[in-house]
Copies of this chain bind each other. A is one copy, B any other.
């Protein structure tokens, strides 16, 4: 393992230039996802909403961006030794696809109750998968032990500058697309688990759109970032909490991500499962997009009025679409 991975407390936040450099690395590799909108959703929220659908990204979520940005900066020798990641599924698939593209073997530590679509997707991308019990075992410990054994490099799901900078390219793209349309969002809602996506997106957006308010949206029971922002220091979630938003179940904010988010975010918002189901159904009906529960929380907050968007231009990130047919059928209202 490199120093960066063992001593994340000393890691330095990526700058806007790091996001720009990540975008250069991702050119021709990541999908430039479009900016979409819907008259019906605008009418429901009373604002003008622009959606960044990372469900259309490679592997069905934004995670490919950060994984590719990290792995593409490894040396030839490091790539040969391979990469290890722990993930409930989206980061797993992002790392598997990026590693495969860059010729590095990948091993992913995944919870045994991860959605089948994510377990299968990861294996189909050529990665080895090791499963663990989400509620009794430490995925970090398993990953670290395997990485040490193989001399492999860990690609952390959020708490790493290169990962955060990579995720930030979604925000940079959105800012560029808004500029091309001549619109200037004054608020952005972004799903938040460990906080890597929103840290990167906020780095890009606040540089390009000074004064924009960026809100973290979290599922009930996993509102650690919302509470941490209010408290001014990192708060943990109740270990007994459960949520259908399997992509957003980090136990607490990352060290590096929170240091960025406390500086750049306007606040947090929390949505419940019914609000998430309403959002998934609105995305089905009005955007024709398959959005997974965790990917729909920002739209859920918009539709439930958790952040008032009346009369405002807003950017909403739909962060992923990897959901089983059974869960999707159940959530579709």
A105 contacts B by Cβ under 8 Å:
no
| Contact residues of A between 258 and 290, Cβ < 8 Å to B | 281, 284-285, 287-290
Interface string of A16-55 (1 = CB under 8 A from B): 0000000000000001111010001000000000000101
Range for the number of chain A residues in contact with chain B? 20 to 34
Identical chains bound together, number: 2
- Contacting residues, chain B, for A287 (C-beta < 8 A): 56
- Given B55, B285, B290, which contacts A117 in the complex, CB threshold below 8 Å? B285
**Further contacts, 10 of them, CB under 8 A, given A40-B124, A56-B288, A288-B289:** A33-B34, A34-B34, A36-B56, A55-B288, A60-B288, A284-B290, A284-B325, A285-B325, A290-B290, A325-B333
A332 contacts B by Cβ under 8 Å:
yes
- Given B40, B56, B289, B332, which contacts A328 in the complex, CB threshold below 8 Å? B332
Closest to A320 in B: B288
Interface string of A321-333 (1 = CB under 8 A from B): 1000100110011
- Contacting residues, chain B, for A285 (C-beta < 8 A): 117, 325
Closest to A285 in B: B117
Interface string of A272-314 (1 = CB under 8 A from B): 0000000001001101111100000000000000000000000
Closest to A291 in B: B288
Within the complex, the shortest CB–CB distance from A36 to chain B, in Å, comes to 6
The 7 closest A-B pairs by CB, nearest first: A288-B321, A55-B288, A288-B290, A325-B332, A329-B329, A34-B34, A284-B290
Given A117-B285, A325-B333: A36 and B31 interface contact (C-beta under 8 Å): yes
Q: Which of A36, A285, A287 gathers most chain B CB within 10 Å?
A: A285
CA distance A281 to B324 in the complex (A): 11
- Contacting residues, chain B, for A32 (C-beta < 8 A): 34
Q: Which of A53, A117, A124, A288 gathers most chain B CB within 10 Å?
A: A288
Within the complex, the shortest CB–CB distance from A31 to chain B, in Å, comes to 7
CA distance A285 to B115 in the complex (A): 12
CA distance A34 to B56 in the complex (A): 10
CA distance A114 to B63 in the complex (A): 39
CA distance A287 to B53 in the complex (A): 12
